[in-house]
Amino acid sequence: ETGVTQSPTHLIKTRGQQVTLRCSSQSGHNTVSWYQQALGQGPQFIFQYYREEENGRGNFPPRFSGLQFPNYSSELNVNALELDDSALYLCASSLGQGRQETQYFGPGTRLLVL
Amino acid sequence: AQSVTQLGSHVSVSEGALVLLRCNYSSSVPPYLFWYVQYPNQGLQLLLKYTSAATLVKGINGFEAEFKKSETSFHLTKPSAHMSDAAEYFCAVAIFSSGSARQLTFGSGTQLTVLP
């Protein structure tokens, strides 16, 4: 158990819809990262939030957005869903910004876009 | 650019045999390296990490990895495989991406099968 939870566990949407995924970080962890893991691949970095501000983004379009709240929870929002957005979405929390800091992953939300 | 390459997308071993999962890295700065395990329909669990304190790193469940700078490798080993080790294993390097964000860049994964 990493102390990181995500909801929902599974979700089915249709193309063009919008979706919100939620994550609850470990208490005290001020950094949350989101990753997309397509079937058969390693996770890909979407973005990171530190103290409620986005402080870095991977190669994902602006229709992927997020929020981080003071209570260590966060959201990933995806607008105008496309079929290729079908994937496992993982959030990871960590304490601090050092490269050596461990990122603790939640169980993920599996999104299917039809 | 920093990256990791995992050699062998599938590895099969017999129960009780040595497990060796290969990871090579590319980095222009001293790397911080991680091994994660993913069981079916679950998230990622940290096995071990290298942060320059010691080249031989011991992790959970009997796994260990050795950092070899001359070979740019960080291979994962376990002396004796157990059926419960069957899972997907990911090697990752921590880098600074855009802004001040620190991200993990993952390899493509190695699926470990343990045969009875």
Q: Rounded to a whole number, what is the distance in Å from the CA of B50 to chain A's nearest CA? A: 8
The backbone region for A85, taken as left when phi is positive above 0, alpha when psi lies in -120 to 50, beta otherwise, is alpha
Interface contacts A/B by beta carbons within 8 Å = 84
pLDDT at position B98:
60
- DSSP notation for A7-71: E-SEEEE-TT--EEEEEEPPTT--EEEEEEE-TTS--EEEEEEETTEEEEE-S--TTEEEEE-TT
Nearest CB partner across the interface for B108, out of A6, A42, A90: A42
Which one has a higher pLDDT value, A72 or B109? B109
pLDDT at position B60:
94
pLDDT over 80 (residue A1):
no
The tens digit of pLDDT for each residue in A54-84 reads 988 999 999 999 999 988 899 999 999 999 9
Do residue A99 and residue B44 have CB atoms under 8 angstroms apart?
A: no
List the structure tokens of A41: 């691949």
Q: Which residues of B touch A100 (CB under 8 A)?
A: 32, 49, 51, 94
Interface check A42 vs B, CB under 8 A? yes
pLDDT at position B97:
64
pLDDT at position A82:
97
